[in-house]
């Protein structure tokens, strides 16, 4: 059973635009929601994360919006740059399960110059 569903599968944005990636989860016991960025040939890098006690977290150009009642969270990349072109994964975990991460399917983002 896929517990974290991610969309879209791929996304093309113009430089300077806003990239938005969405995730939905099923397990209400999840209490930690990170986003990872992965470049070809590299391991995923932790980008930003949020806990369900806040509705938004911002770090530079990256913002997570969290809707607990809808069991959804999203990543917004403001002023998207060609260097942001990568695959983005959302994930979820719960502390009581030893922090094991369940990943979404991934979104391949292309930012055109």
Partner 1 sequence: SAVISQKPSRDICQRGTSLTIQCQVDSQVTMMFWYRQQPGQSLTLIATANQGSEATYESGFVIDKFPISRPNLTFSTLTVSNMSPEDSSIYLCSVGRAEPHNEQFFGPGTRLTVL
Sign of CA dihedral 48, 54, 58, 62: positive
DSSP code of 82?
A: G
Distance between CA atoms of 90 and 50, rounded to whole angstroms? 11
Site for partner 1 in 11-50 (CB under 8 A): 31-32, 34, 36, 41-46, 49
Q: Using the minimum distance from each CB to partner 1, give the nearer residue, 88 or 111.
A: 88
Indicate which single residue of 53, 70, 83, 100 sits in contact with partner 1 (rule: CB under 8 A): 100
Q: Which residues bind partner 1 (CB under 8 A)?
A: 31-32, 34, 36, 41-46, 49, 89, 93, 95, 98-106
């Amino acid at each position: 059973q896929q517990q974290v569903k991610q969309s879209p599968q791929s996304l093309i944005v113009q430089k300077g635009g806003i990239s938005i990636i969405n995730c939905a989860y099923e397990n209400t016991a999840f209490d930690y929601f990170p986003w990872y960025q992965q470049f070809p040939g590299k391991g995923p890098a932790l980008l930003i994360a949020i806990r369900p006690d806040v509705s938004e977290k911002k770090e530079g150009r990256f913002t997570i919006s969290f809707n607990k009642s809808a069991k959804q969270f999203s990543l917004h990349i403001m002023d998207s740059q060609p260097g942001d072109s990568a695959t983005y994964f959302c994930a979820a975990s719960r502390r009581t399960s030893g922090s094991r991460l369940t990943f979404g399917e991934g979104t391949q983002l292309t930012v055109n110059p």
